[in-house]
Amino acid sequence: MKLFNLHTHSFTNQTDVLELVNQYPQEFDASIPFYSIGIHPWYIVEERLETDLEVIENKLKEINCLAIGECGLDKRVEMPMDLQQVVFEKQLLLAQKYNKPVVIHCVAAFQEIIAIKKKLNISVPMIIHGFSKNEQTAKQLVDNGFYISFGKYLLRNPELESVFKSVPNNRFFLETDTIAENIDVVYALAAKYKDVNLEEIQKQISSNFQVVFKTTLI
């Protein structure tokens, strides 16, 4: 059974890991086996928006495109929030159209993300990547149908142990994002925090993968 890396920016080509590699419309690498593609809120180019969305829509038709993203909202960058929201909503509607999950970048905008999900009546799985907040925020996200992915901050911040433990087993994923550590290091810590063996974590994430991505992790 393979390990699953929900979000990474580096394809490492490990035979025992399925990596969901983040791609951008203008920097697409066709050699990567499985990927997500989206417009990150940091990198919105308004003049290129329709072209980028067209690239994304074309890729969403491909079987190797497992998700849209990362996309979302970030209140700590200078990109206007109204523009961020428009771009995010357009991508959510594409995800809904092609029945693909969404990998979400969210900084200080969880209430807005939840509100947009409700407003647009989005039913495809939405996964908050790189989670680093408290139990209350995690519970609110889970209660509103989101999945939560842990990685860098789980390794770096011991206070996240209780948050991770509080997330139901059928609602979490693990990732590396931009860190140097391999995904097996994240799996090992997750197993320790959940007080189960590594195989149990593998089985759980394999089950979650099957539910969200509608295919089997083998």
Q: What is the mean pLDDT of residues 71-75?
A: 98
Residue 218 counted as domain residue = no
The whole-angstrom separation of Cα 3 and Cα 206 is 8
Residue 37 counted as domain residue = yes
CATH of the domain at 90: 3.20.20.140
Output the pLDDT for position 1.
Answer: 80
70 labeled binding residue: yes
At 173-191, the pLDDT tens digits run 999 999 999 999 999 999 9
Residue 109 counted as domain residue = yes
Q: Which domain holds residue 65?
A: 3-213
User: Would the pLDDT of 218 be above 80?
Assistant: no
User: Would the pLDDT of 96 be above 90?
Assistant: yes
For the chain, the farthest-separated pair of C-alpha atoms sits apart, in whole angstroms, at: 50
Output the pLDDT for position 216.
Answer: 87
Residue 126 counted as domain residue = yes
User: Would the pLDDT of 24 be above 90?
Assistant: yes
User: Would the pLDDT of 74 be above 90?
Assistant: yes
Q: What is the 3-state secondary structure of 116-150?
A: HHHHHCCCCCEEECCCCCCHHHHHHHHHCCCEEEE
Residue 185 counted as domain residue = yes
Residue 165 counted as domain residue = yes
Number of structural domains, the chain?
A: 1
112 labeled binding residue: no
7 labeled binding residue: no
Output the pLDDT for position 217.
Answer: 81
Q: What's the chain's average pLDDT?
A: 97
Residue 75 counted as domain residue = yes
57 labeled binding residue: no
Residue 186 counted as domain residue = yes
User: Would the pLDDT of 37 be above 90?
Assistant: yes
Could you identify the residue written with the tokens 């939840």? 114
Contacts 24+ apart (CB under 8 A), 171-174: 171/142, 171/146, 171/147, 171/208, 172/147, 172/148, 172/205, 172/208, 173/4, 173/6, 173/127, 173/147, 173/148, 173/149, 173/205, 173/208, 173/209, 174/4, 174/5, 174/6, 174/149, 174/150, 174/201, 174/205
- Spatial neighbors of 50 by CB under 8 A, at least 6 apart, are none
Q: What is the mean pLDDT of residues 67-86?
A: 97
